[in-house]
Amino acid sequence: MKKIALEEHFGATDPNIVQQSEEHFTPQAWPGRRAELLDIHEARLRQMDELEIEKVILSLLAPGIQSLHDRTQAVDWAQRLNDYAADQVAANPDRFESFAALPMQDPYRATEELERSVNDLGLVGALINGFSQVGDEDTVVYLDDPRYAEFWATVAELDVPVYLHPRDPLASKSPQYDGHPWLYGSSWAFSVETGTHALRLMGSGLFDRHPNLTIILGHLGELLPYNIWRTDHRLAVAPRGLDVEHSFGHYLRTNFYLTTSGNFRTPTLLNAIQEVGADRIMFSADYPFESMAEAATWFDRVELNDRDKHKIASGNAQRLFGLSPV
Ligand code: GRE
Ligand code: ZN
Question: What tens digit of pLDDT does each residue of 149-196 get?
Answer: 999 999 999 999 999 999 999 999 999 999 999 999 999 999 999 999
Q: Which residues of the chain have pLDDT under 70?
A: none
Residue 322 sits at φ, ψ, to 5 deg, of 65, 40
Q: Ligand 1 pocket, 250 CB below 6 A?
A: no
Q: What gap in Å lies between CA 93 and CA 321, rounded to an integer?
A: 14
286 in active site: yes
Q: Ligand 1 pocket, 185 CB below 6 A?
A: yes
State the alpha helices, DSSP H only, in the chain: 30-38, 43-51, 71-91, 107-115, 149-158, 189-203, 206-209, 224-237, 248-255, 266-276, 292-301, 306-310, 316-321
Q: Ligand 1 pocket, 289 CB below 6 A?
A: yes
3-state secondary structure (DSSP) of residue 100: strand
Q: Ligand 1 pocket, 186 CB below 6 A?
A: yes
Please state the atom number of ligand 1 nearest to the C-alpha of residue 262.
11
pLDDT at position 280: 98
pLDDT at position 69: 98
pLDDT at position 119: 98
Distance in Å, CA 286 to ligand 2 centroid: 5
Distance in Å, CA 248 to ligand 1 centroid: 26
Measured torsion, CA atoms of residues 80, 190, 124, 255, in degrees rounded to the nearest 10 = -150
Residue of 243, 286, 300, 306 with catalytic role: 286
Q: Measure CA 102 to chain center.
A: 13
pLDDT at position 21: 98
Q: Measure CA 48 to chain center.
A: 20
Q: What are the pLDDT digits (tens) for 121-157?
A: 999 999 999 999 999 999 999 999 999 999 999 999 9
Q: What are the pLDDT digits (tens) for 23-36?
A: 999 999 999 999 99
Count of CB atoms situated within 10 Å of the CB of 34 = 18
Q: Ligand 1 pocket, 59 CB below 6 A?
A: no
Smallest-distance ligand from the CA of 284:
2
Q: What gap in Å lies between CA 290 and CA 294, rounded to an integer?
A: 8
Distance in Å, CA 81 to ligand 1 centroid: 18
Per the CB < 8 A criterion, the answer to whether 111 and 152 are in contact is: no
Here the ipTM equals 0.98
Q: Measure CA 91 to chain center.
A: 23
Distance in Å, CA 188 to ligand 1 centroid: 11
Smallest-distance ligand from the CA of 29:
1
pLDDT at position 224: 99
Question: Is the full-model pTM beyond 0.90?
Answer: yes
Q: Which amino acid is at 250?
A: H
